[in-house]
Structure 1
Amino acid sequence: MLSRACSVLFALLLAVHAVLATLTSLKKPFWFDELFTVHAGRLLHSGRLWQALYDGLDAMPPAFHGLNAACAALIADPHLAYRLPAIAGWLLATSGLYAFGRGVRGQAAGLASVSLFALMPVSLYGSEARPYGLLLGVTAWAMVCWLGEKRHRWLLLLLPLAASLHYLAPLTVACFALAEAVHYGVHRQVRRTVWLAIGLAAIPVVLTLPTLLHARAESGAQHWARPDIRGIPYYYGNLLGLPLYVALAAIPAGLALAAYGVRRRRQEFFLLFPMLMLPLMGLGLALLSGGAFAERYAIPVVLAAALLVPLSVPRFPSRAESLCAAGLSAAVIWFAAAGAVRLVRLPPAEVAARESPLLTSARHAPGDGLPIVFANSLDFLPAAHYAEPALAARVYCLADKDAAGRIGNTADNARLMLTLRRYADLNIAAPGPFIAAHPRFYVLTSGLPRMNWLPAWLKERGYRLQRQPDSQLLLAEP
């Protein structure tokens, strides 16, 4: 009876998440990073995608953008189309965790794993037009296939696909290589199919390496995600949703579990331990290579964390385990269903974006035809995307790497906007030529102070900035 209840709860959890992710996709406007996915996907048909990625337009490999372009060609609503790979990936990750946990310790462990996974803050990537949700799904099923001898042939597809989705995904493949090396050391068995799959995963890495190296050279040392060894507890804490002192305990706990797994010949721990170390591996690679690193680049660590808890606790009577797992999953389903009900009442993404406070402020600008410059490029891109044509024609972004780096330490953001200008029909300009053509204009400030370097730059050049009545707008005059 409890076994059947666990199966029903898992099916409900999967269904509720599918509904929640779909509603979120339809109701949530695109944000800055997602709009780079949209613009890059549109370049595939014109044959300019590879060149744009080579120039550093986006840090995601071409396979990811090709998949998004295919979805956009099939689905009318772009918010659902560009987020569909993430939704599918999240459902795959959930089912993969359940299959892994059930295969090792039974249905209760599988259900507990997916419930913990659903509670982690990375759940937002299950409905975001970036590759992280899909990477989780592909990795989760690669883990399942690695565990079962009869499924090894699927690794020939899954590991190369994972390596094609993100430039740091090869580190996840390296975790499989480490696990397979430990398996050989313990069992003295060469599993050729697994090693062949690991070798095939190197092909997309080699093909996209020139693009990655050139894009990194374009970004230089001013990338927004500069690696910092002091950020280790934050990387773990932000991914797993744990307090910092708990996140710090993840590393020694992982070491202890690895030793236990090798001693007991528990194959699942051969793989889970290196995956738990992914943030450290990514940080180390970034520091050695001069590249970038943010915690989400090591997102498969959440799969290992979600599995390690139910697989590591001492065994209890099966009835008690099933009741605990069922209670946890029922709570997750309840909160997810409540979230879905709230989303139903919200307006569609297009309407919500056009009614945003920033676009409303821009819309209330005097009808004198003066340009409206968004000081924060993070807000400019959504505004330009959703504004009605008449307003979009007035909306500008000014980008200067030197000024942005000197005043706000945001040179890489300015570089991104200048690169995007070459591939999208947007009002992005260098400050000098712009103020020569438009001596008077409005400035709209928003968000983090460091992103709003433009007012300080204008004051350095003797501009006066006058706050407009009942508005966020500043009138800039020489």
Structure 2
Amino acid sequence: MTLTALPPPSPHIETTGRLGLNREDTLTIALFTLLYAIPVAHSAVSRAFWLDELFTYYIVTMPTWAGTWDLLRNGPDQNPPLFYALTRLVVGVFGESEWAFRLPAMIGYWLLCLSLYTLGRRIGQTSTTGLIALVTPLVTGTGYYASEARPYGLMLGCLGVGLVSYAFIDPAEPPTWQRRAVLGLGSTLALAMAFHYLVLLPIGCLWLVEGYRTWRTRQVRWRVWGALAAPLAVLAYNWPLLTEQSKLPYWKMSLRWSELSEFYWWMVSPLTGLAFLTLVAVVAVIDRLGRRSRHHPSQEEAQPSAKLPSEWLWLGFVLLIGLPVGWMVLMKVTGRTMFTPRYLLPAVVGLTLLVMYVVGQLTAHHARWVARGIWTILAAVALWTGLQPWQLVLPRTEAVSNLPDPNQPVLVDCVMYLQLKHYFGDQLPRVVHVFGVLTYPQPEDPSRGLRAILGNPRAPRFEAPEAFRTAHDRYYIVCHKVHEARGLIQYLERLGTPVVKVTDEYLVYDFRWSDIE
């Protein structure tokens, strides 16, 4: 496969043809891969599993595949089975370490970055727009999911390859290449659907963009529509499983409009993300002011690097703005609460496209400054991370340790309970979780939800409410200082329940059941 370059309109514009890589591209990808692997691998090695990752752990480590399938139907997760089958295979090869469970996500997210790089070189036509596309997903808040033992990284990787395929369905390409691109589009989007059902949201955004293109050109690309509809076949295949999974009530009890702004802040708020976006914004302002101050700018200074095709600029707005806002409105209208940042991760692709557009307007001189700044940020993060200890950081136990009565049970929520039992086991024998207390509402059927993980012999045991209250009139209650726990905290305060410990995250109460009788 050869690289076909179009004649550049100015000396600093570099364009790529089909999917070939020149030496600069190879060096860029190699250096990025190194700077990507250091912080992502460090996070995968050092960060303890949290609740959702422990669900992955219990599903994957079921003794038999039949048991895994039962947990998929009745357990707390609501994802397709392919992710768990792949993780089971990886863990079987590399062992049950944190990084092995997270390896699929690490590779999938890396594939997203490389796919966006190819896309940036294809539609942005310069090395700087390609670099922007390569780096944006890593430095923003969504980069957290590059090292989480969940299906989001794999889903995003497949989505990225699908976007590249979509970009190469171009009349300027040979018919054979176009057919391959259509096949790649349909197969990768279908594979993304096999990893997570909610990839249907960004696929729906692609439907809107293709509809816009159809309206603008007055030409219907039937093969493209067929490829864009391919994921529906995977959804239909998994529909019986999804129907069973959907019977489990969703964990969130309420939904606030402010969560929409919180999502955007979460996405851009990491220090690396703020530094990256500030760099682009400052250079863009300097570039604009510099052009206005010169009456006779040189050709290189006046020539923008590149402009994004209108379909991709439109897709950027739809993914970044339409996807989160539209999903929030839909949830509010339907009375559902399924709004959380991890369901809206494809919005980072929209952010990438819009930042590419901004950088594409810069002169070559200022674009080079952006590139230098990006490499500096990545190198600084990799150096700082690489110097940190490469060892697992265990969950904190100060909230359940050194309490006045060491023989009194300590009641914690399911998140803390599963973490502590996974990492400390019998070292904290007084720590318990009572089903239905300090947790979100769960179905009455004991074979559903959290109770289903008891089918895994490694899972810790929950206490039955009636038996626990009969056996213990007095126990400690550990309350997390979050919105969902405020009701319980207010209730305990009205009872006058004494606080015996306060930490950064928790309040510990000394509760007597007889006080409310």
Q: Give the TM interval when normalised to the shorter protein.
A: 0.7 to 0.9
Match of 2:130 in 1: 110
Aligned equivalents of 1:5, 1:225: Cα separation in 2: 51
CA contact (8 A) 1:371 1:442 kept: yes
Matches within 5 A, 1:139-218: 139-149=159-169, 150=177, 151-218=181-248
Gaps of 5+ in 1: 247-262
Match of 2:144 in 1: 124
Aligned equivalents of 2:497, 2:208: Cα separation in 1: 61
Aligned equivalents of 1:55, 1:41: Cα separation in 2: 14
Displacement of 1:77 = 4.0
Q: Kindly indicate whether residue 307 of structure 2 is the aligned counterpart of residue 274 of structure 1.
A: no
CA contact (8 A) 2:399 2:501 kept: no
Match of 2:350 in 1: 304
Rg: which structure is higher?
2
Between structures 1 and 2, the one with greater helix share: 1
Aligned equivalents of 2:214, 2:507: Cα separation in 1: 64
Aligned equivalents of 2:373, 2:142: Cα separation in 1: 18
Q: 1:120 to 1:51 in 2, by over 3 A?
A: same
Aligned equivalents of 2:498, 2:33: Cα separation in 1: 53
Aligned equivalents of 1:398, 1:459: Cα separation in 2: 21
2:38 counterpart (2, 15, 19) = 19
How much identity, in percent, do the aligned residues show?
A: 23
2:382 counterpart (311, 330, 337) = 337
Q: 1:331 to 1:472 in 2, by over 3 A?
A: same
Secondary structure at the counterpart of residue 195 of structure 2: coil
Displacement of 1:226 = 4.2
Displacement of 1:381 = 1.1
Aligned equivalents of 1:124, 1:189: Cα separation in 2: 41
Match of 1:376 in 2: 413
Gaps of 5+ in 2: 1-10, 15-22, 170-176, 278-306
Match of 1:386 in 2: 423
Match of 2:435 in 1: 399
CA contact (8 A) 1:375 1:454 kept: no
Amino acid at match of 1:297: Y
CA contact (8 A) 2:51 2:419 kept: yes
Please report the TM-score for the alignment, with normalisation by the length of structure 1: 0.79
Q: 1:472 to 1:146 in 2, by over 3 A?
A: closer
Matches within 5 A, 1:424-439: 425-439=459-473
Match of 2:301 in 1: none
Aligned equivalents of 2:123, 2:72: Cα separation in 1: 41
Q: 1:285 to 1:168 in 2, by over 3 A?
A: farther
Indicate the larger mover: 265-274 or 372-381.
265-274
1:420 counterpart (424, 432, 453) = 453
Amino acid at match of 2:352: A
Aligned equivalents of 2:470, 2:492: Cα separation in 1: 13
Displacement of 1:361 = 6.2
Per-residue Cα deviation, 1:64-103 (whole angstroms, up to 9, x for no partner): 2222222211111420121111101121111111111111
Q: 1:115 to 1:266 in 2, by over 3 A?
A: same
CA contact (8 A) 2:67 2:455 kept: no
Match of 2:289 in 1: none
Please report the TM-score for the alignment, with normalisation by the length of structure 2: 0.73
Aligned equivalents of 1:290, 1:387: Cα separation in 2: 40
Per-residue Cα deviation, 1:410-447 (whole angstroms, up to 9, x for no partner): 43599854443455631212322113234555555555
CA contact (8 A) 1:179 1:271 kept: yes
Q: 1:328 to 1:132 in 2, by over 3 A?
A: farther
Amino acid at match of 1:303: V
Displacement of 1:176 = 2.0
Give the RMSD, CA atoms, in angstroms.
3.8
Aligned equivalents of 1:15, 1:469: Cα separation in 2: 42
Match of 1:258 in 2: none
Displacement of 1:201 = 0.3
Amino acid at match of 1:219: P
Aligned residues between the structures: 441
Amino acid at match of 1:428: F
Amino acid at match of 2:103: L
Q: 1:172 to 1:22 in 2, by over 3 A?
A: same
Secondary structure at the counterpart of residue 293 of structure 1: coil
Aligned equivalents of 1:362, 1:234: Cα separation in 2: 31
Match of 2:8 in 1: none
CA contact (8 A) 2:104 2:154 kept: yes
2:102 counterpart (83, 88, 100) = 83
Aligned equivalents of 1:9, 1:34: Cα separation in 2: 32
Aligned equivalents of 1:137, 1:30: Cα separation in 2: 22
Secondary structure at the counterpart of residue 267 of structure 2: helix
Secondary structure at the counterpart of residue 197 of structure 2: coil
Secondary structure at the counterpart of residue 54 of structure 1: helix
Matches within 5 A, 1:280-359: 280-291=325-336, 292-312=338-358, 315-321=361-367, 323-343=368-388, 345-346=389-390, 348-349=391-392, 352-353=393-394, 356-358=395-397
Aligned equivalents of 1:452, 1:209: Cα separation in 2: 37
Match of 1:137 in 2: 157
Match of 2:59 in 1: 40
CA contact (8 A) 2:142 2:267 kept: yes
Aligned equivalents of 1:474, 1:218: Cα separation in 2: 31
Match of 1:231 in 2: 259
Secondary structure at the counterpart of residue 186 of structure 1: helix
Displacement of 1:394 = 4.3
Match of 2:91 in 1: 72
Aligned equivalents of 2:310, 2:212: Cα separation in 1: 11
Matches within 5 A, 1:356-371: 356-358=395-397, 362=400, 370=407
CA contact (8 A) 1:163 1:173 kept: no
CA contact (8 A) 1:109 1:325 kept: no
Amino acid at match of 2:386: V
Aligned equivalents of 1:365, 1:456: Cα separation in 2: 22
Q: 1:181 to 1:468 in 2, by over 3 A?
A: closer
CA contact (8 A) 2:409 2:476 kept: yes
Q: 1:44 to 1:275 in 2, by over 3 A?
A: farther
Aligned equivalents of 2:82, 2:502: Cα separation in 1: 49
Secondary structure at the counterpart of residue 168 of structure 1: helix
